[in-house]
């Protein structure tokens, strides 16, 4: 659902009223119908792809579980036979026979493991195939054409061109996590197809994220029923703040930033630097705002989704940044890429390689372009550097809770010296991330280098890009995030004084009406 559209404004109250008056399982069926109805309205290709990925992952997970149960039964039979033989052969070459059985069991186990790995590989390839075709088909075709052209074989560079369905990366990763978890026996495979389709198509988060996990969302879909007032109030506040971030700041900044980057050859270095800084803010307010609206919409219906952002521009390093930015993606990469590769429980060189591979995957996930791959590798490289220099020590945010209402945590004392160092690291990290975003924004690596070169070599000091009032709203976001970081009990949305809360609601709502840019299109990350 496009949350910054008038369709959302008119349709969601109806969904809210009907959904909160239904009980399980009618509630699940209603959300299933609504989800697919919304997707069909926006993009039929997206709907067909979603159904295909859902069916593939559903049946492969069942097949995996069936094979694992078969292997388990074999193991149980072997154990029984083993015990009987132990009793019979207690006094007859006990040690020798035991060693022989161990060797045989080891061989059988290896065969079964190979079979299981082959099955999971087939499931992963089948699940990820639509993503590869739709999102990376043109990229692969283009690079293959360039490669063959270098050997004198002329080919058509535009031989493969197709528009990727919205949110395909999000629901593909969601399906993959389910297949991996069933393979690991974290939970049994879902037997009810409609339940699984509802989990995959749950409309608040499918396009915008966060990337849901089956064991986190499915139990709620099976149990939540009726209206939950505290959670609904929390959700409405999140929608209000998310709408402010999206339509007042992100969509308005886009009007000023895009012309600067599109005409970067004619722009001065100072204008490009200001555009890069504002682009960092645009990305954050766009994606965080959209995620908040998605999480808030789910909360009004009684469902708790995972937090996706936690004041990312107060990070003290690139590693800390990925603990705060797109949290559900970072956790997915950690659980299904980094740890299976060996994580940190291996040699230093292997650990550094694991980090680089993980963030190369992150770059590829974000887009089918070499700029995204370079962007991901640079993020991985800086994390490796932080690890070598010992800057990855446990220096987490004072408030590790993911609940924005958490106010019971008291801020710990930080000395003036440590505070100054922390502020310096925050500023340095922000500018480093800002320069990395340039690769994220530009169409080619060469264009990104030109922009960076102009920023560092230009003598012009003109910084004016957008209207002054937008900086006031940016300052409000900064102050709000700072309050969340150091003293969450003073968050104006949850302030103990009623007049403070209602003054905040009125100000945000009025700002949306007066300065909001509606129907500006999907959020930036939707194309990823």
Question: What tens digit of pLDDT does each residue of 351-362 get?
Answer: 999 999 999 999
The verdict on residue 161 lying in a domain is yes
Span 450-470, average pLDDT:
81
The verdict on residue 212 lying in a domain is yes
Span 258-285, average pLDDT:
92
Annotated catalytic residues are 366
Question: What tens digit of pLDDT does each residue of 296-351 get?
Answer: 999 999 999 999 999 999 999 999 999 999 999 999 999 999 999 998 888 899 99
The verdict on residue 262 lying in a domain is no
Phi, psi (degrees; rounded to nearest 5) at 218 = -60, -45
94: pLDDT strictly greater than 70: no
Can you give the pLDDT at residue 312? 95
Least confident of 290-294, 483-487, 519-523: 519-523
The verdict on residue 62 lying in a domain is yes
Report the distance separating Cα 32 and Cα 493, nearest Å: 32
409: pLDDT strictly greater than 80: no
Can you give the pLDDT at residue 168? 82
pLDDT band per the 50, 70, 90 thresholds, residue 115 = very low
Of all helices (H) and strands (E), which one includes residue 300? helix 269-300
* Strand, coil or helix: 261: helix
Question: What tens digit of pLDDT does each residue of 181-239 get?
Answer: 998 888 899 999 999 999 998 988 876 678 999 999 999 988 887 788 999 999 999 99
Can you give the pLDDT at residue 374? 95
The verdict on residue 303 lying in a domain is no
Structural domain tally of the chain?
1
End-to-end CA distance of the chain: 16
The verdict on residue 179 lying in a domain is yes
Report the distance separating Cα 220 and Cα 195, nearest Å: 11
Question: What tens digit of pLDDT does each residue of 117-173 get?
Answer: 667 788 788 888 888 887 877 777 777 777 666 666 555 555 555 566 667 888 899
Farthest-apart Cα atoms in the chain, separation? 93
Question: Other C-beta atoms within 10 Å of 466: how many?
Answer: 17
pLDDT band per the 50, 70, 90 thresholds, residue 402 = very low
Full domain range(s) for residue 152: 22-225
The verdict on residue 170 lying in a domain is yes
437: pLDDT strictly greater than 60: yes
The verdict on residue 324 lying in a domain is no
């Amino acid at each position: 659902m496009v949350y910054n559209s008038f369709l959302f404004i008119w349709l969601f109250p109806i969904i809210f009223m009907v959904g909160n008056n239904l009980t399980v399982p009618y509630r699940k069926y209603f959300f299933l119908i609504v989800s697919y109805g919304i997707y069909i309205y926006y993009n039929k290709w997206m709907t067909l792809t979603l159904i295909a990925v859902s069916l593939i992952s559903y049946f492969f997970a069942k097949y995996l579980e069936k094979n694992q149960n078969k292997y388990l039964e074999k193991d149980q039979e072997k154990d029984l036979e083993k015990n009987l033989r132990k009793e019979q052969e207690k006094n007859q070459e006990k040690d020798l026979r035991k060693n022989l059985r161990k060797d045989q069991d080891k061989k059988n186990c290896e065969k079964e493991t190979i079979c299981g790995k082959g099955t999971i590989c087939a499931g992963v390839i089948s699940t990820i195939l639509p993503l590869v075709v739709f999102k990376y088909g043109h990229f692969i075709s283009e690079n293959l054409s360039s490669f063959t052209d270098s050997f004198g074989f002329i080919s058509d560079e535009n031989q493969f061109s197709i528009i990727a369905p919205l949110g395909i990366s999000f629901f593909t990763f969601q399906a993959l996590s389910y297949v991996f978890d069933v393979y690991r026996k974290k939970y049994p495979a879902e037997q009810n197809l409609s339940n699984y389709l509802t989990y995959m198509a749950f409309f608040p988060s499918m396009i915008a994220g966060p990337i849901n996990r089956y064991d986190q969302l499915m139990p709620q879909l099976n149990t939540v029923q009726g209206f939950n007032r505290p959670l609904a109030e929390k959700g409405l506040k999140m929608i209000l703040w998310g709408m402010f971030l999206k339509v007042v700041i992100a969509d308005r900044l886009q009007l000023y930033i895009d012309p600067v980057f599109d005409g970067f050859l004619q722009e001065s270095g100072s204008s490009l630097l200001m555009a890069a800084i504002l682009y960092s803010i645009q990305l954050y307010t766009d994606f965080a705002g959209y995620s908040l609206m998605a999480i808030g919409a789910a909360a009004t219906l009684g469902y708790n989704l995972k937090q996706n952002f936690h004041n990312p521009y107060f990070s003290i390093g690139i590693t800390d940044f990925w603990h705060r930015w797109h949290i559900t993606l970072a956790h997915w990469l950690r659980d299904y890429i980094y740890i299976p590769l060996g994580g940190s429980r291996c040699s230093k060189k292997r650990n550094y390689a694991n980090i680089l591979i993980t963030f190369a995957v992150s770059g590829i996930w974000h887009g089918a372009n070499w700029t995204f791959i370079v962007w991901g590798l640079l993020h991985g490289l800086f994390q490796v550097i932080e690890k070598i220099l010992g800057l990855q020590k446990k220096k987490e945010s004072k408030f590790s809770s993911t609940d924005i209402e958490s106010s019971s945590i008291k801020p710990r004392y930080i000395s003036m010296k440590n505070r100054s160092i922390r502020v310096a690291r925050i500023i340095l990290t922000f500018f480093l991330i800002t320069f990395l975003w340039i690769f994220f924004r530009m169409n080619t690596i060469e264009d990104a280098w030109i922009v960076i070169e102009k920023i560092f070599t230009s003598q012009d000091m003109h910084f004016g890009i957008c209207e002054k009032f937008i900086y006031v709203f940016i300052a409000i976001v900064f102050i709000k995030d700072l309050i969340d970081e150091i003293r969450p009990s003073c968050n104006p949305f949850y302030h103990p004084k009623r007049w403070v809360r209602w003054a905040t609601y009125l100000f945000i709502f009025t700002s949306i009406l007066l300065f909001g840019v509606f129907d500006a299109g999907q959020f930036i990350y939707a194309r990823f």
